[in-house]
Structure 1
Amino acid sequence: MSTILVLSGSPSATSKTAALAGHLAGRLRADGHTVEEVRVRELPPAELLAADTSDPRIAEVIAALADADGVVVASPVYKAAYSGLLKALLDLLPQFALAGKVVLPVLTGGTPAHVLALDYALRPVLSSLGADHVVPGWFVLDKHIALGPEVTVEEASATQLHQVTDVFSSAVTARLSLVAT
């Protein structure tokens, strides 16, 4: 059984990014993965900004990351990059924290002009953390995500988002099979 950690780097309490991350977590659970979700905004802020890895909650996230076979990293786009909140978490991780992991980057934003943040901001930092396989990620326009009792993603975005999520799911399963042999 594979384990996937879903990180949501949105600082907003009512976040479309966090809702989308939860939506993807549900899809991955339906594929048979064990999924843990972390909203970075719920970590203790002073300890996060001080990179206090001895804090129990931060240590718990680092341990969950170490145990995960795959990681979904979701963030809204701010200033043509991922959120500062997500950066604070990524900055305190060990140099090769993503070694041996399959990673799916997902960004949300208000305009298609931000799509390049996937390849020019988020992907390089994930690679520098040693990710073995960063699958093609996906950018979703905010207006394509509807909050409610259930999160819905407009079909134009949902089809491709679900395809990249399924590729990620398959890559995690394949990597786990490879490691087991």
Structure 2
Amino acid sequence: MATVLSVSGSPSAASRTARLLRDIDARLVSQGHDVVSLDVRTLPPEALLHADFGHPAIAEVISLFDQADGVVVGTPVYKAAYSGLLKALLDLLPQYALTGKTVLPLATGGTTAHVLAIDYALRPVLSSMGPAHITPGWFVLDKDIAVGDDGTLTVAPGSAEALAHVTDQFSAALGTPAALLAATG
């Protein structure tokens, strides 16, 4: 079907945001999509901080965006905005890096006070990059995400149901224009 780039903007190695994205990646793979995962924290910090557009790792990331039909962007919310790490990456991408792509924004955070961070902080930046469609995103409270000692991810039922719904809308939107209209209806 489609190639999806799944981007985690979390700076933490033990990130609930990244774990949640990998769970969504598995759902997308089960629906027939090819998924490529990108943890921004694994990119060379000097390349991000010095805006080194010529760095091989940055060139590879730009290539991943070019090849993707859809992009899932996940970030923890800090101070009512997406992570600075994600911002550093977005600033390095070409102005219209999302042209023609379907995008699913997701965020995690400690309080419902940050629930609008997707619509007021992340969505405008993503929109400025020319996507064909940004599907409805979702905010998940940190307390609704648990990782067991064995690494098993558990998401509270209400959040899990909502995530499944927005993921399925995104998956449908990756299809034909008719599927896109059905997904937004």
Q: TM-score, normalised by structure 2?
A: 0.93
After superposition, residues 1-181 of structure 1 pair within 5 angstroms as 1-148=1-148, 149-175=151-177
Distance 1:31 1:176 in 2: 18
Distance 2:163 2:152 in 1: 17
CA offset at residue 176 of structure 1?
10
Letter of the 1:21 counterpart: L
Distance 2:178 2:40 in 1: 26
- Matched residue of 1:91: which SS? helix
Note if contact 1:5-1:72 (Cα within 8 Å) is conserved in structure 2. Answer: yes
After TM superposition, the runs of 4+ consecutive aligned structure 1 residues lying more than 2 A away are 174-178
Give unpaired runs (5+ residues) of structure 2.
Answer: 181-185
Distance 2:96 2:166 in 1: 24
State the superposition RMSD in angstroms: 1.4
In the superposition, relative to structure 1, how do residues 46 and 176 fare at CA in structure 2: closer, same or farther (>3 Å)?
farther
Note if contact 1:102-1:168 (Cα within 8 Å) is conserved in structure 2. Answer: yes
Identity %: 62
Count of residue pairs brought into register by the alignment: 178
Give unpaired runs (5+ residues) of structure 1.
Answer: none
Distance 1:51 1:37 in 2: 22
Give a deviation string over 1:31-50, Cα, whole Å, max 9, x none.
Answer: 10000000000000001111
